[in-house]
Every structure is written in C-alpha cells, then in structure tokens.
Structure 1
Amino acid sequence: MKKIFYSILLVSAVSLSAQGKKFFKSGEVQLQNPVEKINLRYANDLPFVQVNINGKSYNFLFDTGAPTVISTAVYTELGLEKKHKGKVKDSQKNKQEQIFTILPEMIVDKAIFKDVGVVVMDFSVSELSCFKIDGILGANQMAKLFWKINYAENSLEASKDLARFNPADYDIVIPFSPRPQKTPVVETDLQGEKIDLTFDTGFSGRLKIADNAYNAQKALKSVEVYGTNSVGAYGAGKPAPGYIFRTASLSLGNKNFSNEIIATGNASLIGNDFFKNFIFILDWSGNKIYMKRIRNEPAKLESFGFGYRFIDARPTVAFVFREENFPLKVGDSIISINDINLDGLDKDGACHYFLNRVENGKNAINLKIKRDGKEMQVKLEKKEFLGIGV
C-alpha cells in the first residue's frame, strides 16, 4: 500500500429529490463500433480521458465514485442553462449547493453522449487544481454502457454488448448496489462485519473504512495515525486520529482476499491501488463487476511515517504515524527535502512538487522544517509497517 497520503477524490450527490433522481437517468449514447477503444491516461494513481465538447478538448477524470461533473469554467463557456440546484457532498462530508444542468453533447473518441445530466463544480479548490481537471465522466454516464478497464495498459473499452468482453473468463464476480447517481457500492465481510464500500476509480488509495467500522481487537496489526490523509472536492477534512491495519481476511463477491491493508477515515472506499492489479468489467445492466488478476502485488505499507499537503503553496505536514519520539508534528512547515528548496513556491511550483514528490523512490530523506518560528533538521528512513511475520 504505497498510497496513504493523498486520497483523491470523491464527490457524491446527496439529498436528491425525486426530480434529482430522475435527472441522473437522462441521456443516451451512440457508438460507431461494437467495441469502442477509449483513450485512457493513468497518471498519479488516477484515470483520465480526453473528451470533446463543441469542438474543444477537455481533461476529465474517469470516476465511478461521482456523477458526471463539468467545471464552472466549462459551464460558463457553453452558456448552459441551470435546471435546478441541489446539495453535493464530498469525501470529507463537506456539503455545498451546486447547479445541475444538461450537457447537450459530449464525444469521447467515437462514443457520442447526448443530454447527460451533469453537476457544475469549481475544480480550483486546493491541490485538485494541479490535475487541471475540466470535469468528471461519472457513473450516471458510464451506466449506459459496459466498460472494460486495464490500468496497466492504459486500456479502456466500451460496448453496448456485455458478451463482447467475455465475462465468463473472469473468475471474480462482485455484485453491487447502485446509488441514485449510479455509483456502485459493493459489500464486504470484514472482521465479521458487513461493510458497504464505494467502488471508486476517483480514489487513488487502496481500501478505507469509516472510523466507526474499525475493530481493534480483530486487526492482525495496526498503526495509529493522526492528521488528514485525504482531500475532497471542497478541500481537506479536519485532522483526526485514525488507524492503518492489516486484516486476515476480506471478502468481495465470490473471492476472499487475505492480508489486506486498510486505512480508517471519513468514508468506506475501494480504489485504484487495489484495482491496478486487475482487469475489470463494469456492468450496470446486471449490477456486477467482473475482475481478473493480472499481477500479484501483496499489500505492503512502506512509509517515512508522514504525509504533507501544499496549503497556499506551502508544504505542510498534515499526517503522521504516532510513533514514540517521531520528530514531525502536524502543522510543521517543510522548508526543504534533500536540499530541494520548497519554501516560497508559486502555484505552478507547488503543483509540480505535489505531482512529483521529492521523496518518491528514496529510502532516506533529509528535511528542514520550521515549527513555532524555529528551524530544525530531521533525517528519516523509509520503513515497512505491518509486515507479515514482523
């Protein structure tokens, strides 16, 4: 589990009226071929597609955990008409009222979507702006087709005929229940408890459960943590205590997974650090996900024991493992890592180091930090936590 910090991005529509639920059923799709190959770029543990609207290309996140969304900039450019307003909640349980509208046409390679219901949102919030996202191709739009995804090969295919993807060749079958905006929710049996997980391609992490679902007595091993380990559409949540733990068994559909590593947080999710080891098919007609393993990477937690955010372009410690005598605290300002100056960055510089972390691929790092006006030097070595037999 290389990805503890950050987890990006969950947007879930809530408080939907009857009108809102009907809204997410709108639209239709036309394909030119029985199977359409769709451009996919898997980067920074997230899947992106290029879409065409009114002859202009835009960068959209391919996100099963959200409805289809367009940015306020795109909404303004197109001069679209507001249909209604409704509450939208992000992964940190922050809510805002947003405009809902109808997008007349969106072309994704040779797939033409017409009259799709979309939410209008501002993507300039916090670090999310670094991804330069113009919108989200969400679950309500995906549900009109069958999809086959393979992150390892940047492969995404769409069809109106499930048989084209030979689902009988996939040994893992996971039923799901769709939310009103069509987001798939799968059930797992964890530590003897039934837990609903959002099947979320907009979540860059592996597995997360809500804090109140954690049972310390049933975890094989655990690490206590503190801080903020994810960011949503409206920014990060408040620092809070939590755990990262290894579990003996976790079931999904007809398959049992052993020795998985799970973090606690504001929501229960399964994401891309898990999905990347599989080819998977999304089937909203039968409400099933078909999966076939393509590589076997055991869940592993290696970390320097902290994570940081760029707050107003300043790198700030936001997440720490609660180890005895650990030298960093939430709120510490990072001046440099390995003599690379991170102080006084502009927005572009902060985005560069947010997406291209200085510590990536390193086994040891030297930090210069500032706390209460005083500068300190700290050396950290990467360690494996929750190792089997350790």
Structure 2
Amino acid sequence: MLPAFGVACLLSIGIQSCSFIRGFKALTAGEARVVLAPDTIPFAYHHNKIIVQGQVNGKTYDFVLDTGAPTVIWEEVAQDLKLAKARAAVSSTDANGTRQQLNFYAAESLKLGNLEVEGINLSSVSTLADEIKCYANGGIIGGNFMRHYHWQIDYENQRLIVSSDFSRLSVPKNATRVNATVTLPQGLVVIDGIRVLGKEEEFTLDTGNGGSLNLGMQNWDAAKASEMGSYAEANGYSNLSTGGRKTITTNTIKTDFTSPMDTIPNAIIQVDTKNSLLGNHYLAQFGTITIDYSIGKGAVYFNPKKETAPDAMSYGFLPVFKKESNAFVVGKIYKGSEAEKAGLQLDDRILSINGKALSEIDYATYCDNISSGKASYVLEGDTVSLIVQRNGQQLDFRISKYSLFN
C-alpha cells in the first residue's frame, strides 16, 4: 500500500513531486458553478487519451482530461493570455524524474461545457514533451477541477455526462460500486483492495494514462513475479511526461489481478510508472464508468465489463517518435526477444515498417496523425520487416512475433 503522501505526489503525464504540494493551496482558490441538470460534453479519443475543449478566460484550447493529475496549463498559454502570477514559483519533478519549475497564475475562469470554476489559480509548466501538445495545446484538466462535480465517462459514445448532484446521473443497476478515496486538494481518485503479486495495493484512477494496468515500480518484486506468474524485462524510453522521456528498465508481468470490480487470471500488467494506475485502455473495457467525487465517501461505478483476452504476443521492440531526432526510433527492446537476437538496437532510426516509409514523417506530420487519430505505422503479421539506419548504415531486419512469456 502506498504511504499517504505517495499518491498525493502523482501526476501521470505531468508532474510528480511532493514539492508541488507546497503550491497546491494556490490551486484550491475558485468558486464552481452549480450545474444540476446533467451536462453532456463530447470528447475525442485519440491514442487512448480523452481530449476535450475547454476555455481559459474565454479562449478555447484542447486539454487532456486526467483524473490522475492536477490541472495544468502550458506556459505558452499563460503568456498568450497575459495571466498574472498568483504566487512564487516552486521547483518540482515530473513523472520521469526531470526537475522543472512550476509557475502559478490567476485566471478569471476555467470552463468546460457548462461547467465553470471562476477565480481559479492554475499551475503552469514549460513542457519538454512537445508530443503532448500534438493533442492538447492547452494542458491538462485534472482532479482539482473535476472534484467540484460528478462525472460519467462514456467511452463507447465518447461523451461526458456531468452534474453537481450525483443523483442526477443515471447509473445502471448492474454497475459495480467500488469505494474510493478522493484526495484533497488534488482530487485524485484512489481505489484500495486490489491484489497483485500477493499484496493489496492502491491504484489511482488515471484517465491521463493511455495504458491498461500499471503496477508501481516501488511495488515491484521480481521474486514474487517469478513465483506467482512470469515477467519479461525491457530497456527503453519511459512513458511520456511533461519533461519528456528518459531511458529506464521496465517489466511486463503475467499474473492474476484481483479487484473489487473484476478478476483477471493471467493479466498483462506493466511496471513502468512510479505508482500503480488504472489507465484508459483498461477502463474503456467497462464501456462507462461513473465517478462520485463526494469527499469522504467517494465511489466509482463500473458498468459490466467486456472481456478481452490478454495479448502476450510481441515483436520484442516498440517504435517511439523522438522529437530530438525528428524521426521514429526503436524506443524499447525486450531482453531475450527476437528483436534483441536479431541485433536491433535502442535508438536505431526506423526508415520503414512492412514497406511503409516512416523516414518522411516529421514532427508536424506525426502531430497531424495523432490529432486526427491516424496511425503512423501498423505492426501486424507473423513477421515484420524493418529497415533502420545506424551510424549512416542502412540495415534490414525480419523479426518474428513471439510470446513474451515462453
């Protein structure tokens, strides 16, 4: 189980530092507009991220809706709106350990549909991860805004249904109610009683995380993973955060996942984030989830789940777009995989996959693909053909699909 301050220091794609809490008092300012009749807000769903249009001081921007984070705007937005600083800056650390400076600005209002918080103070960060801006040029709408309301996230119809009065939301009778802790002032939603590797863990509901199930690195136990399942280790780039990516060692586990809302034998669980998270890829399998943000008695209602078979097949590598190189590179390689045996190396520049040229995809094109929901490449088939460039030399690979846990 995480210590109390462990969850409080989490921001899934952005900031992760206890020093950030020093500035959180500035974020509690503001008065929420009461919205009783449920407000329906459409969203776009790109790369397993919920993208909404919101307004800061009346100007429209795209935001990631992130239950696992506080509300953040990019520094460029603060400068664009000429916002006044609300307090002194603090130093913080992002989710990958990169030190950053956080500024705090006073805004007249932050609005999403008919939802509005007036006189709100917003944190701001100069993100190094320009990829985030491909789908969110405004920033992140997070828990300290969301906790003023109650939310139904309808993944199937790509809409949010929101009200100040939880009883106004229509929750199916066959939905499973799971108690949750709503942290203050951040508004994170934490579910306890989830068992992985023989221990109960706290998992944060994290719609800013496009992944599925993530066991926190601080809870990783290789011996238990071998005893209660199996795991595959990889070297590569970390998940995207506001400070960019860095090279880390991660693990993928196949083990039982037992929670109040479902039980998954031989679940595929990633170990690549500091804390344990329930991401969008997992949450979307329920079709709709409903969040009761009542302080002290919060809950999450899960609609009946659509079962999906865990996919343990892999080519042993993962492409990543690296802005510094303005190109796709090999961003992760599993140890002992077909890719490693074939001689593929981290940071090899990918020229083509299965005959589809990637060498001409620059950052602007990559961003356009993300914002439109278009895939830049597809990994499919029993064998994938790959052409890479390394030290000026062009290399050809044919890599077969294999099971991570053979």
TM-score class, shorter: 0.7 to 0.9
**CA-CA distance at 1:346 after TM superposition:** 3.2
Contact 2:385-2:397 within 8 A present in 1 as well: yes
Match of 1:3 in 2: none
Q: Does 1:69 align with 2:47?
A: no
Q: Does 1:178 align with 2:183?
A: yes
Name which of 295, 300, 319 aligns with 2:332.
319
Q: Distance in 2 between matches of 1:162 and 1:315?
A: 45
Contact 2:67-2:189 within 8 A present in 1 as well: yes
Name which of 52, 57, 74 aligns with 2:55.
52
Which one-letter code corresponds to 1:204 in the other structure?
G
**CA-CA distance at 1:307 after TM superposition:** 1.0
Match of 1:291 in 2: 302
After TM superposition, the score normalised by the length of structure 1 is 0.87
Contact 2:180-2:189 within 8 A present in 1 as well: no
**CA-CA distance at 1:168 after TM superposition:** 7.1
Name which of 248, 266, 269 aligns with 1:259.
266
Q: Distance in 2 between matches of 1:93 and 1:13?
A: 8
Q: How large is the RMSD of aligned CA atoms in angstroms?
A: 2.6
- 1:13–1:28 Cα change, 3 Å: farther
Which one-letter code corresponds to 1:368 in the other structure?
I
Match of 2:7 in 1: none
Q: Does 1:130 align with 2:134?
A: yes
Q: Distance in 1 between matches of 2:156 and 2:390?
A: 41
Q: Distance in 2 between matches of 1:18 and 1:200?
A: 19
Which one-letter code corresponds to 2:161 in the other structure?
E
Gaps of at least 5 residues in structure 2 are 1-10
Which one has a larger percent strand, Structure 1 or Structure 2? 1
Q: Does 1:246 align with 2:251?
A: no
- Provide, for residues 3-34 of structure 1, a one-character-per-residue CA deviation record: whole Å limited to 9, x for no partner: xxxxx952245335876343232222224551
Which one-letter code corresponds to 1:53 in the other structure?
V
Q: Find the residue that maps to 1:176 and give its secondary structure.
A: strand
- Provide, for residues 239-266 of structure 1, a one-character-per-residue CA deviation record: whole Å limited to 9, x for no partner: 32x3211112322x46444332111123
**CA-CA distance at 1:342 after TM superposition:** 2.5
After TM superposition, the score normalised by the length of structure 2 is 0.84
- 1:384–1:116 Cα change, 3 Å: farther
Match of 1:370 in 2: 389
The 10-residue stretch of structure 1 (320-329 or 279-288) with the greater mean CA deviation from structure 2: 320-329
Which one-letter code corresponds to 2:201 in the other structure?
I
Name which of 354, 358, 375 aligns with 1:342.
358
**CA-CA distance at 1:358 after TM superposition:** 1.3
Q: Find the residue that maps to 2:70 and give its secondary structure.
A: coil
Q: Distance in 1 between matches of 2:282 and 2:187?
A: 21
Contact 1:314-1:350 within 8 A present in 2 as well: no
Q: Find the residue that maps to 2:167 and give its secondary structure.
A: helix
Q: Find the residue that maps to 2:186 and give its secondary structure.
A: coil
Q: Find the residue that maps to 1:230 and give its secondary structure.
A: coil
- 1:132–1:168 Cα change, 3 Å: closer
Which one-letter code corresponds to 2:332 in the other structure?
F
Contact 2:101-2:125 within 8 A present in 1 as well: no
**CA-CA distance at 1:299 after TM superposition:** 2.6
**CA-CA distance at 1:360 after TM superposition:** 4.8
Which one-letter code corresponds to 1:209 in the other structure?
L
Q: Distance in 2 between matches of 1:145 and 1:233?
A: 26
Q: Distance in 2 between matches of 1:243 and 1:373?
A: 31
After superposition, where does 1:1-390 map in structure 2 within 5 Å? 9-12=12-15, 14-16=17-19, 20-31=23-34, 33-84=36-87, 85-123=89-127, 125-167=129-171, 169=173, 170-178=175-183, 180-187=185-192, 188-214=194-220, 215-240=224-249, 242-251=250-259, 253=260, 255-267=262-274, 268-278=276-286, 279-285=288-294, 286-311=297-322, 312-323=325-336, 325-343=341-359, 345-352=361-368, 356-360=375-379, 364-386=383-405
Gaps of at least 5 residues in structure 1 are 1-7
Contact 1:172-1:255 within 8 A present in 2 as well: no
- Provide, for residues 247-296 of structure 1, a one-character-per-residue CA deviation record: whole Å limited to 9, x for no partner: 12322x46444332111123222201100011111122122222112422
The 10-residue stretch of structure 1 (293-302 or 97-106) with the greater mean CA deviation from structure 2: 293-302
Aligned length, in residue pairs: 378
**CA-CA distance at 1:233 after TM superposition:** 0.8
Contact 1:68-1:138 within 8 A present in 2 as well: yes
- 1:351–1:363 Cα change, 3 Å: farther
Q: Distance in 2 between matches of 1:71 and 1:97?
A: 12
- Provide, for residues 157-211 of structure 1, a one-character-per-residue CA deviation record: whole Å limited to 9, x for no partner: 1111111224572224142352542222323221222323222100000111233
Contact 1:239-1:318 within 8 A present in 2 as well: no
- 1:196–1:342 Cα change, 3 Å: same
Contact 2:342-2:397 within 8 A present in 1 as well: no
The 10-residue stretch of structure 1 (55-64 or 360-369) with the greater mean CA deviation from structure 2: 360-369
**CA-CA distance at 1:225 after TM superposition:** 1.6
The 10-residue stretch of structure 1 (331-340 or 166-175) with the greater mean CA deviation from structure 2: 166-175
State percent identity of aligned pairs.
23
**CA-CA distance at 1:101 after TM superposition:** 1.8
- 1:195–1:326 Cα change, 3 Å: farther
Q: Distance in 2 between matches of 1:19 and 1:371?
A: 46
**CA-CA distance at 1:366 after TM superposition:** 1.6
Which one-letter code corresponds to 2:349 in the other structure?
S
- Provide, for residues 291-318 of structure 1, a one-character-per-residue CA deviation record: whole Å limited to 9, x for no partner: 1124221332333221122223121111
